[in-house]
Amino acid sequence: MRVLFAGTPAVAVPSLDALVNAGFEVVAVLTRPDAPVGRKRVMTPSPVAARAAGLGIDVIHATRVDDAVTAKIAAAGPDVAAIVAYGGLIPRAALNVPRHGWINLHFSLLPAWRGAAPVQRALIAGDDVTGAVTFLLEEGLDTGPVFGTLTESVGPEDTAGALLERLSHSGAVLLTQTLSAVEAGKAAPQAQAGDVSLAPKLTLEDGRLDWKQPALAIGRRARGVTPEPGAWTTLDGQRVKLEPVKLRPEALDIAPGTVGFDGKSVLVGTGSHAVELTRIQPAGKKMMAAADWARGMATLESVVFE
């Protein structure tokens, strides 16, 4: 079966590899254009584009799927399109090109967390279980009937990055199985059922920690926004980046945002009990162990995160 693969970030690469290794003929890859990366803003191909080039697969670069891009997709002659985190909407004209349609690998248990940041939103909400599904893409936002499902337990220290990494590999297997079922004429997608929740793309503001919230909520948010956009707070009006915090329910109560140091651990007060900072990146400096930062401060008296 001839497959068009659409995807952009690193989490989509295992699916591309899985399809190639399973013997599917990947006739072209649709991905976002090169983008500036790093402090020097070097124009860099997407991880999927780089992998496709290594595999000798033709690449279609597109910010949006317009008539010209749709014509390129049609010229590739796919029987089916597989899409994993491409990062753009697929219009009706393009949806109609492959005879088997577009099959989307989505990292949530639909209809929960429809949208661009399902894993991140699940962690912030405190879900104990998440997963991935394959479904038939429609013009609606992640509304199509589901082919297959897998579940994944959320660990107490999981970050969005770690959880997505696991799901990218198990999801690649699910996607390959789904396309094999479609090719064999044995796929039977079922309408989504259950409560709908939305997972819009995270903004920088989503990473800001509100120290008046309970420690559990702060911990979930910090893990949910790691690695991107990253957890942060402010000190003396400047943004300070933080890595995920540890819950310390046994610690003495201190006022929300107030910083304390016992010689080993840096604690911050919350709306419930304190949390322990792990790593911190003050403005203009590199990420460092929180204890090293504390030792380098002249004093922590009156240090309060805002």
Contact present, 228 and 117 (Cβ < 8 Å): no
Q: Are 55 and 157 within one domain?
A: yes
The per-residue pLDDT for range 44-54, each reduced to its tens digit, is 999 999 999 99
The per-residue pLDDT for range 97-155, each reduced to its tens digit, is 999 999 999 999 999 999 999 999 999 999 999 999 999 999 999 999 999 999 999 99
Rounded mean pLDDT of 265-275?
Answer: 93
Residue 292 included in any domain: yes
The CATH number covering residue 141 comes to 3.40.50.170
- Structure confidence at residue 253 (pLDDT): 76
Tell me what percent of the residues of the chain surpass a pLDDT of 90. Answer: 88
The per-residue pLDDT for range 72-103, each reduced to its tens digit, is 999 999 999 999 999 999 999 999 999 999 99
- Structure confidence at residue 36 (pLDDT): 87
Q: Which domain holds residue 91?
A: 2-183
Q: Are 63 and 18 within one domain?
A: yes
> What is the spatial distance between Cα 16 and Cα 8, in angstroms, rounded to a whole number?
11
Residue 305 included in any domain: no
User: Could you give the number of structural domains in the chain?
Assistant: 2
Q: Are 40 and 73 within one domain?
A: yes
Q: Are 254 and 177 within one domain?
A: no
- Structure confidence at residue 251 (pLDDT): 74
Residue 192 included in any domain: no
Residue corresponding to tokens 């491409």: 86
Q: Are 38 and 91 within one domain?
A: yes
- Structure confidence at residue 89 (pLDDT): 92
58 phi/psi in degrees, rounded to 5: -60, 140
Number of Cβ atoms within 10 Å of the Cβ of 212? 13
Residue 188 included in any domain: no
Confidence of residue 298 (pLDDT cuts 50, 70, 90): low
**What's the mean pLDDT when you consider all of the chain?**
95
The per-residue pLDDT for range 21-33, each reduced to its tens digit, is 999 999 999 999 9
The CATH number covering residue 258 comes to 3.10.25.10
Global pTM reads 0.94
Q: Out of 125-129, 170-174, 252-256, which region has the weakest mean confidence (pLDDT)? A: 252-256
